[in-house]
Amino acid sequence: MKQFDYVRPATVAEAVAAAAQPGAVYLAAGTNLLDLMKGGVSRPDRLVDVTHLDGLDGIERLADGSLRIGALVSNADLAHDADFAKSYPAVAEALLSGASAQLRNAATVGGNLLQRTRCAYFYDTASRCNKREAGSGCDAREGENRTHAVLGWSESCIATHPSDFCVPLVALDAIVEIEGRNGRREMALDALHRLPGNSPERDSALEPGDLIVAVRLPPAARGFAAHARYLKVRERTSYAFAVVSAAAALRIENGKIAETRLALGGIAAKPWRARVAEDVLMGVTPTADAFQEAAWRALTDAKPSGDNAFKIELARRIVVRALTLAAAGTPARIPALPASPFASTSGAIHV
Amino acid sequence: MNHSISLTVNGARRDFVLDDPRVTLLDLLRERLHLTGTKKGCDRGQCGACTILVDGKRINSCLALAISHDGADILTIEGVARGDQLHPVQAAFIAHDGFQCGFCTPGQIMSAIGMMQEAQAGNDPERIRECLSGNLCRCGAYAGIVDAVLEAQAGIDETNQRRSA
């Protein structure tokens, strides 16, 4: 690991000033960053440790019905918060389907949003990677790319965003609160992550010094609690990133779908909101045919970036399954194997 | 630049001067305190051999910078027994052959202790397997590990019942 300077700011303002310097990065739990630094993938000159800052680790219900989640709340604390899991069950299920219990105890909300891709060529410093080193090329294009992107990719980069948590969050219109050099601002989570285009080295819309201080779920996000699921296909039963995943949330009134929220994971450089598919389901009866149509629409623009045409069909099927299970109703308790598409709603069998 | 930190390790306060901020909690425990029960397996957060409890919660000590954990309360495998009396999870691992080579065992036991405190899995073998999926055992002693945890959990449940009776 390259040598670095360690800075522990006392206030958010000090943190922003320290992290705005070239070569500086924020350190929260470090569960992704330290791994990248050990591999020489990230080589920061300065770590700005935000874990000792006050006021960033609360979960609070606001007067308008929003929920504000501090950026330093751990994945485990959020998923196991009883009110949170009851109000936003697909988000809790997504959190519990990610990583391991040890990592969830450490990893933070803010860090989860900003985790880097798991593309093996990004991790391998002997390979060419435009995301790791701008302009160096992309060895994934002609390499082992069966798990890579099928939407929103470019010739420069076919990497995917690995987060489970972000998928239901983007479906529920989550908002990111950011403290920067020019003060506080906020943006839709949907606008935080960038598609690669010609500059895949930039994962997000954040500027130097920008610190995510909170994630907010707007009042309407609570309205989907009765019909919400997150489903994830992985290459082993547990402790694996998504090959494809989907968050589906429905509001059903008098037997008809009043509103749908749908997003996919593991298929693009950002959590992929499928608004066209949502519109297809407006006012219709929740049937297999309707869900098939929605799934078709969600993947209309998809195209393989390599040996991954199967992911398009797999994504369609996971969308249908997620919508079907969401329509059937949120299970009273999160299944033993969270987000497993191979389990009944009552539980999962490890294989 | 030197950084001073203090930790509570297995109940005792320890002060350190770090001349390098790159030291992980894992390396600090092993190299500075010679507490080598906590194992370095993958060193990348994938195997769980380095699991310890920090402020009561299980984490991978290989992915935790010591300097960032100033003031933390740490429990390692060396701190779970009371004198010669094994921790119930340790005793259950022996009773059920919850290991073969033993390299992953300290991490498995610390993870199981952390899991039981989290109280999410209870006595459901499926939930126990899922909640311990961050601990790999290359000998494949998983069946014994789950049996050991079930027995230790049953002991806790019995104690709680007696207390409430």
Residues in A closer than 8 angstroms to B3, CB to CB, are 6
**CATH number of the domain where residue A230 is located:** 3.30.390.50
Which pLDDT score is estimated for A348?
Answer: 42
- Give residue A344's pLDDT band: very low, low, confident or very high (50, 70, 90): low
E strands, chain A, are 5-7, 24-27, 46-49, 59-61, 67-70, 175-180, 183-188, 211-217, 228-233, 244-253, 256-265, 272-273
Q: Give the number of domains in chain A.
A: 2
Q: What is the mean pLDDT of residues A198-221?
A: 98
Is A214 contained in some domain?
no
Give the minimum alpha-carbon distance from B145 to chain A in angstroms, rounded to a whole number: 15
Which pLDDT score is estimated for B163?
Answer: 84
Tell which residue, B67, B97, B71, has the closest CA to residue A5: B67
Q: Which residue of A has its CA nearest to B111?
A: A102
State yes or no: pLDDT of A251 exceeds 70: yes
For residue A242, give its domain range.
224-328
Residues in B closer than 8 angstroms to A1, CB to CB, are 22
A42-93 residue pLDDT tens: 999 999 999 999 999 999 999 999 999 999 999 999 999 999 999 999 999 9
Residues in B closer than 8 angstroms to A38, CB to CB, are 43-44
Which pLDDT score is estimated for A27?
Answer: 98
| Contact status of A29 with chain B (Cβ, < 8 Å) | yes
**CATH number of the domain where residue A40 is located:** 3.30.43.10
Give this complex's ipTM: 0.97
Which pLDDT score is estimated for B160?
Answer: 85
Is A335 contained in some domain?
no
Of B1, B24, B60, the CB nearest to A102: B60
Residues in B closer than 8 angstroms to A237, CB to CB, are 133
Q: How far is CA A202 from the centre of its chain?
A: 16
Give the minimum alpha-carbon distance from B98 to chain A in angstroms, rounded to a whole number: 19
Is A188 contained in some domain?
no
Whether residues A5 and B21 touch (CB distance < 8 A) is answered with yes
Q: What are phi and psi of A3, to 5 degrees?
A: -65, 150
Domains, chain B, in order of start with CATH, read 3-79 (3.10.20.30), 88-164 (1.10.150.120)
Q: Residue A177 and residue A188: Cα distance in Å, rounded?
A: 9
Where does a domain end: A52, A71, A87?
A52
Output the average pLDDT for chain A.
96
Q: What is the mean pLDDT of residues B3-8?
A: 97
Is A296 contained in some domain?
yes
Of B3, B22, B130, the CB nearest to A336: B130
State yes or no: pLDDT of A347 exceeds 70: no
